[in-house]
Structure 1
Amino acid sequence: MRILHTMLRVGNLERSLHFYTQVLGMKLLRKHDFPDGKFTLAFVGYGDEREQAVLELTHNWETEHYELGNGYGHVAIGVDDVYQTCAKIRAAGGNIVREPGPMKHGNTVLAFVEDPDGYKIELLGGHE
């Protein structure tokens, strides 16, 4: 068994695809419209989904905004250098919501970025 994907509902698919592909450097792996159900599924990730977990971006055509609720935490992405990654994300227009630095009560270097829908993405150092 393995984790296949995490699904996030997004209000504007093109804006979210831009963020995940252009700002975070993922690839659009596949995208499919379901006209009868009025929704689109887009899968993004850093590698082949047969080998790696990916994100499923679900866009319900008639919904422009979602409340995140208080149960969602974050998606974590391992990077080699958190400081350098944040500089690239910022240059690409990304929103850094927790500047890079050591975590409280530990030594792990991390940062948080927010996607266009408000989902938090944690960047963890020393993982590439």
Structure 2
Amino acid sequence: MSFQGEQHPGVQAPTADSEGFRLNHTMLRIKDPEKALAFYTRVFGMRVLRRLDFEEMQFSLYFLARPEPGERIPEETGERTVWTFSQRGVLELTHNWGTEEQQDFAYHDGNAEPQGFGHICFSVPDLEAAQAWFDANNVTFVKRADQGKMKDVVFVKDADGYWIEVVQADRLGQMGD
């Protein structure tokens, strides 16, 4: 029998009604798309799959991901939009027009009080190399791998102050109970 998920109070067996459901993306609101896109494309190697503008409502959506090497991404925008919304691990950056011009404007990062949203996470093949890359690109650290109680886990901040957890999967086998 294949793994069916851990069982805890509140966990219920999925029904056929949710068959085929897939988590597609997580959305973060950004102040300045130029800064946010520079960060995610340069530092984390993501690619913009699709930009959607909504003139009447004055906002733009940027969908970013790390496609697998050799993965075929449709060129035609309609096909690429459908393809984008069928993927896993997509990051949606939402820009409400004009926020980049507001000096004191900032979104809540979810980690200041009152806490809510916490972070997104990237898995990397080599945590030390990733930390060196972050240092070389002046990325702000919340926590390095050798700091705090949770070793081998890094937290950095993006251009809007959102936290990003960075892990090397093969180091986490003994984590938790």
TM-score of the pair, normalised by structure 1: 0.87
Query: What is the match of residue 86 of structure 1?
Result: 131
Asked if 1 retains the 8 angstrom alpha-carbon contact of 2:109 and 2:163, the reply is no
Residue 22 (1) aligns with residue 42 (2)? yes
Q: Tell me, which stretches of 5 or more residues in structure 1 are unaligned?
A: none
Query: What is the match of residue 154 of structure 2?
Result: 111
Counterpart of 2:143 (choices 98, 104, 118) is 98
Query: What is the match of residue 38 of structure 1?
Result: 58
Query: What is the match of residue 123 of structure 1?
Result: 166
Task: Compute the RMSD of aligned alpha carbons.
Answer: 1.9
Q: Which has the higher contact order (CA 8 A, sep 6+)?
A: 1
Distance 2:29 2:142 in 1: 20
Aligned-pair distance for 1:51?
3.5
Q: Which has more strand, going by share of residues?
A: 1
Kindly provide the CA deviation profile for residues 39-69 of structure 1, in whole angstroms up to 9, marking residues without a partner as x.
Answer: 0100111127433221100000133421234
**SS across alignment from 2:144:** strand
Counterpart of 1:60 (choices 93, 96, 116) is 96
Aligned-pair distance for 1:126?
2.9
TM-score of the pair, normalised by structure 2: 0.64
Q: How many residues are paired up?
A: 125
Paired amino acid for 1:54: V
Asked if 1 retains the 8 angstrom alpha-carbon contact of 2:29 and 2:95, the reply is yes
Q: Tell me, which stretches of 5 or more residues in structure 2 are unaligned?
A: 1-20, 68-72, 74-83, 101-105, 171-177
Query: What is the match of residue 78 of structure 2?
Result: none
**SS across alignment from 1:101:** coil
Q: Which has more helix, going by share of residues?
A: 2
Distance 2:147 2:127 in 1: 10
Larger radius of gyration: 2
Asked if 2 retains the 8 angstrom alpha-carbon contact of 1:23 and 1:93, the reply is no
